[in-house]
Amino acid sequence: MHNAILRSLPAFLLVGVVVAQQPGDLKRADAEKQIEAQRLEGMFADAVRRADAVGRTNPQVAIQTLKAAAAEISSDKSALTEERRQFMLRKLGKDMEAWGARGDTRPVTPGPVVPPSRTDPGVKDGKGQFDAVKDRFDRGTKVKDDLRDLADNRQKAALALNLSVMKAGIASPEDVVYPRDFAEKMAKRTGGVTMTAQ
């Protein structure tokens, strides 16, 4: 009987009945999408972090980690927005290129460690060793003397520059024009002392 009633209702009322039954399903679907989006965001951040940690020593493992994350994000079509998905894929692609470039360069292996020697390997006898040390000492003394001369020259140049700046700020006696009653005013101020050319 229930089916007979449903068949007799107009189509637009049936659509309303179907929609009325779905709000719970829609909420559940939205919640599932949000959970999936959060999972993908966490996986993305974790893949970038792990690639950074591993890539310094093994760039190929970093690239594989990023590729797996990119494949998972590419397979999602509903949880993430298209803009966010494209951003994540671009970031993963750039990181893969960067780790690939680092993986192309071979690691430099250090050579054998040679302990420092106090003697010059080219000198075999004691006199030659003494001459080598004396020569090194003389070169050091000459460098010290050169540095002292350089410092003296710099100081002299700085003093000469300061003197020229000070002279430029002092007017020449020929350029100074005194007022007519200057001598009388100075006599009053100085108590009778007169200015001379010196």
Which structural domain range is residue 68 located in?
9-104
pLDDT score at 14: 46
The answer to whether residues 89 and 159 belong to one domain is no
Long-range contacts: 48-51, Cβ < 8 Å, 24+?
Answer: 48/91, 48/92, 48/95, 51/95, 51/99
Q: Are residues 133 and 92 in the same domain?
A: no
At 66 the pLDDT is 87
Domain boundary among 54, 69, 104: 104
Specify the pLDDT at position 20: 47
User: Are 155 and 69 members of one domain?
Assistant: no
The pTM (predicted TM-score) of the whole model is 0.40
* Domain boundary residue, one of 104, 136, 168: 104
Taking only the tens place, the pLDDT of each residue in 61-100 is 888 888 888 888 888 878 888 888 888 888 888 888 887 7
- The structure tokens listed for 56 are 């310094």
